[in-house]
Structure 1
Amino acid sequence: MALPSAVVDALRCSICGERVESLERMLRCPRRHTFDLAKQGYVNLLHAKVPAGTADTAEMVAARAEFLGAGHYAGLAERLADRAAALLPSGLVVDAGAGTGYYLARVLDEASGATGLALDVSALALRRAARAHDRLGAAVWNLWSPWPVASGSVSLLLNVFAPRNANEFHRVLRPGGRLLVVSPRPAHLRELAAVVDLLDVDGRKDERLGTALAGGFELVSREEHTQRMTLSPADVRRAVLMGPNAHHPERLTRLGDVREPLEVTASFLLSEYRRTP
């Protein structure tokens, strides 16, 4: 399985910053730094260890794939894909913190002329993302580090419940390129707090996002998406284990006590930003 040519054109060597070319089962730059393509189809560009508690574990990845596969966030994925397709009939779309590639694949289904690059620090997640769509390439990378992506090469950025590196967002987007950010609202999954000691949702997250993007981005629109969901005990477990709470097992001791379906609120904010010069 080869990376799409548009993805290879946008990627840069994570050691020296030079362009890379696709050879058999690897990427290589003119200085002969090489990066093997995994059999699952993704490339690992990292050359440093990932801090413990940063990347998704196998259990987290499985929980996310099963929860999303059940369609609980299909409404959000549809809204995101419709908005992205209207903005991006063609070009490169990068999902920063793509996980299993669920949202990026939906965007590519709608934007038939676009190509996708999934960036995530979890190689386990990208094993799935690399197979999520035939116009999708996946690369392991720490989003807090300077990205191995060419400046101005990206038409659209997605950032769904993931770390936000405003400087790199601005650098890799072309002038006028768009950024779509999905963030949880304070009410998101609040009912789970009755059974699990959840990490708090930052009530000032949207304010902090605006501050971080000030000077390089212009807010175009914001749209709230709220829905009620009935989760089985298994899906309650998946909803908790697919997120950062899974890195804190001491908070999850009561999760096994959930024996009945639970009605919960899903509440997200979809923000669209335009890159300014």
Structure 2
Amino acid sequence: MPPASSAALLCPVCRDRLRFDGGALRTLVCPAGHSFDAARQGYFNFLVGKGTVFEADSADMVAARFDFLSAGHYRPLADAVADAAVPAFAARTPGTPGTVLDAGTGTGHYLRVLLDRLAAAGTPAEAVGLDISKFALRRAARLNPEAINIVADVWQPLPVPDGAVDVVTVVFAPRNAAEFARVLRPGGRLVVVTPRPGHLAEIAGEAGMLGIDPAKEERLAASLEGWFAALSTDSLDVPLALSPADVGRLALMGPAGHHLDREALAALTARLPPVTAVSARFRISVFEPRRHHGLVT
């Protein structure tokens, strides 16, 4: 479980500050008495009221993602995300911990690499990982036990105080521009990863995966306009040599996994060659909040 100092969180019911109740770090409470117990696997569930209208990733989708990422196929992307995020901590007073918010943390693999990078540099950091899938958070809580891992909907008010975060990372996940701008400190960074046209093109059509919108970059900029200014945009190409099983995992772990015919996918992977060459094409975009007199504008 995370250290008690990591509990800079807001109650999802009343928006007051949460704190750990007792030394076991298993229960978060606010002054109004709203209480949240950690699940056996170590994450907290902040979906209250009607929860979320969005469909969370299923257990088999999460298992496919965990196995694929654990094999290291996307490690160059994780390293690139860490490269983009680390400079956000440069302005901090030495010895004072910074904070990472990983929105759509999934299985926690990208956050793990960033936390390891910061630790190797002697930069203290606290982390919050958000996702709407409890199956994903079970994995993330085991991979990143020092983080606070929370089931939460990114389209609802984030359970984080204003200006409390140094960097927000969003890897293939939704982007709530207003809330990200609210929680970032002045000089903080938003790091967004999106697929580029041609991403996984060798298998996408046959495997039933979703296509990439050619105007995706323009839509990303438009969704953040008014809240963020662009700092940099970099492209990353990762050549993959995948086994049939990994092709199946790659197809199942993404958004198409909600609708894929599992039997048809198994039939496809059964007739694949021992190795399939696939091109992964990513865009890593870095933004900073637009501010006027210390306020988000």
Same fold (TM over 0.5): yes
* Corresponding residue to 2:10 among 6, 12, 16: 12
1:108 maps to: 115
Q: 2:149 aligns with which of 135, 138, 143?
A: 138
* Deviation per residue, 1:176-212 (Å, 9 max, x gap): 2100001001111111134222212122111111111
Partners of 2:289 and 2:58 lie apart in 1 by 33
1:1-277 to 2 correspondences below 5 Å: 1=1, 3-9=2-8, 11-24=9-22, 25-47=26-48, 48-51=50-53, 54-88=55-89, 90-112=97-119, 113-250=124-261, 253-258=264-269, 259-260=272-273, 261-277=275-291
Q: TM-score, normalised by structure 2?
A: 0.88
Residues in 2 aligned to 1:114 and 1:156: alpha-carbon distance in whole angstroms = 11
SS where residue 85 of structure 1 aligns? helix
Cα deviation for residue 44 of structure 1 reads 0.6
For the Cα contact (< 8 Å) 1:12–1:20, is it kept in 2? yes
Residue 254 of structure 1, CA deviation? 4.6
Structure 1 residues 224 and 252: alpha-carbon distance in aligned structure 2, compared to 1, 3 A threshold:
farther
SS in 2 for 1:135: coil
Please state how far the C-alpha of 1:250 moved relative to its aligned partner: 4.3
Offset at residue 168 of structure 1 (A): 0.8
Contact 2:166 2:188 in 1 (8 A): yes
Question: How big is each residue's C-alpha offset from its partner over 1:70-122, in whole Å with a ceiling of 9 and x where there is no partner?
Answer: 11001111121123223325410100000011001110111121111100001
Deviations for 1:204-227, whole angstroms, at most 9, x for unmatched residues? 111111111112211011110012
Q: Which amino acid aligns with 1:135?
A: E
Residue identity opposite 1:153 in structure 2: A
Q: Whole-Å Cα distance in 2 between the matches of residues 158 and 245 of structure 1? A: 22
- Tell me the amino acid that sits aligned with residue 274 of structure 1: E
- Output the aligned Cα RMSD: 1.6
The answer to whether the 8 Å contact 1:196/1:255 transfers is no
Shift of 1:255: 4.6
Instruction: Out of 63-72 and 78-87, give the one that drifted further.
Output: 78-87
| Bigger mean CA offset, 243-252 vs 129-138 | 243-252
TM-superposed deviation, 1:252: 7.1
Instruction: State the TM-score, normalizing by the size of structure 1.
Output: 0.94
What 5-or-longer segments of structure 2 have no aligned partner? 91-96, 292-297
Structure 1: 5+ residue stretches without partners? none
Q: How many residues align?
A: 274
C-alpha distance in structure 2 between counterparts of 1:225 and 1:59, whole Å: 28
1:21-42 alpha-carbon deviations (Å, 9 max, x no partner): 1014211111101111112111
Q: 1:33/1:184 Cα in 2 relative to 1: closer, same or farther (>3 Å)?
A: same
Distance of 1:76 and 1:249 partners within structure 2? 25
Q: How many Å apart are 1:135 and its aligned residue?
A: 2.9
Q: 1:21 to 1:243 in 2, by over 3 A?
A: same
> Which has the higher mean CA deviation after the structures are superposed, 38-47 or 97-106?
38-47
CA distance in 2, matches of 1:7, 1:255: 43
